[in-house]
Amino acid sequence: MSEITYQQLNPPQRILLGPGPSNIHPRVQMAMLAPMVGHLDPYFISIMEDTKELLRKTFRTENKLTFPVSGTGSAGMEAGFCNFVEPGDVVVIGANGFFGDRMAEMARRYGAKVVQLTTEWGRIIEPEAIETALKAEKKVKLVALVHAETSTGVLQPLEEASKLAKQYEALLLVDSVTSLGGHELAVDDCGIDICYSGTQKCLSCPPGLAPFTANEAALSVLEKRTGPVQSWYLDLSLLSNYWGSSRFYHHTAPISMVYALHEALAVIRDEGLEARIQRHLNHGAALQAGLEAMGLPLHAQEGHRLSTLTSVGIPEGVDDVRVRQNLLNKWNIEIGGGLGELKGRIWRIGLMGQSSTAENVLIVLSALEKQLAEEGYSIDPGAGVSAAAKGLGQ
């Protein structure tokens, strides 16, 4: 029997302009190569403390319970529901995209009565819809919204929702997977009770951790549970004992990933959070101007479009998959296709973290123009690049 030969690991260098992951900073790459220590080693414990403080600054919160959950962004989502929702609780969830639907599914699995606020994928959940749902129910435990809906490119306003949640004595849970470190997000000032994110988007860290924060109001609800948290692994009361001063063993933390997150957050600190947010705004606006100059319709609701991820309509007669494959094979550029009901109807172009550069804006527009021309789509040559360059001041 002949021996099976496996390929040598040699991944290509891609320009990651899809819905995630984004390209990572060289400092983050180097952090992954740092020597391994034990998960209770004094050095690693010092890195844990630094990481918590850096996360607080990035979330803009003073919450004591702020740390990365070991798992991807979906683990953060799961932690948000399994800890604070019990069977019979009423939960109002904004479901205007793929990840809002996922939140609703998780809440149902934990026995919640889900009031699902649906709207066209690409539009925000209006405050009036949230208030109507809160008024209609005797007692709502939690209101959950996706701040940056990755499937549609919509930026959900939070201020009015926060006021309504407080008025009706409900917790506000926010998914910030595609906004933390790229959009304005101030957990404390906005009155967010529970917030989670992912490392692979605007933080430009490999996927594998879910930054998480919860305030005292949320922890008070957790303490008053009538039954144990159904997920042992994601039980915040257990996790906080490991990430807190007692260091009570819970699981072996992904040490190299914590190194990477620590360095990614340090990169954000060095750039300045406000400067980083402005960079994302500038590049997102330039990309969108370029796409519109090419005659391509932006999908997300005007006035509520993400700068970190742009959804754009695919012209009739253009082959979605072929264009994306050619961008990857010919240009080493990854962009994303649509999810769910938007599959085949939109492309999703991400400009997140390390991937959000003026050069990437121009190269993706240039490459997309050439691929669309091959599909027979008529564009004024250079129109997209010229419009974007003007927006970039070039």
Residue 144, pLDDT score = 98
272-391 has CATH 3.40.930.10 classification: no
**372 contacts 379 by C-beta, under 8 angstroms:** yes
**16 contacts 22 by C-beta, under 8 angstroms:** yes
Residue type, 225: R
Q: What is the pTM of this model?
A: 0.96
Task: Count the Cβ atoms, other than its own, within 10 Å of residue 285.
Answer: 17
Q: CATH: 3.40.640.10, 3.30.70.20, 3.30.1360.120, 3.30.310.40. Which one for 27-269?
A: 3.40.640.10
**120 contacts 96 by C-beta, under 8 angstroms:** yes
Residue 70, pLDDT score = 97
pLDDT per residue of the chain (394 residues) written in tens, 0 to 9: 678 888 899 999 999 999 999 999 999 999 999 999 999 899 999 999 999 999 999 999 999 999 999 999 999 999 999 999 999 999 999 999 999 999 999 999 999 999 999 999 999 999 999 999 999 999 999 999 999 999 999 999 999 999 999 999 999 999 999 999 999 999 999 999 999 999 999 999 999 999 999 999 999 999 999 999 999 999 999 999 999 888 888 899 999 999 999 999 999 999 999 999 999 999 999 999 999 999 999 999 999 999 999 999 999 999 999 999 999 999 999 999 999 999 999 999 999 999 999 999 999 999 999 999 999 999 899 999 999 999 998 7
Residue 5, pLDDT score = 86
Q: Across the chain, which distance is largest between two alpha carbons, in Å?
A: 71
Task: Count the Cβ atoms, other than its own, within 10 Å of residue 394.
Answer: 12
Q: CATH 3.90.1150.10 region(s) of the chain?
A: 272-391
Residue 246, pLDDT score = 83
Residue 1, pLDDT score = 60
Q: CATH 3.40.640.10 region(s) of the chain?
A: 27-269
Residue 2, pLDDT score = 73
Going across the sheet that includes 336-337, the strands are: 309-313, 346-350, 336-337
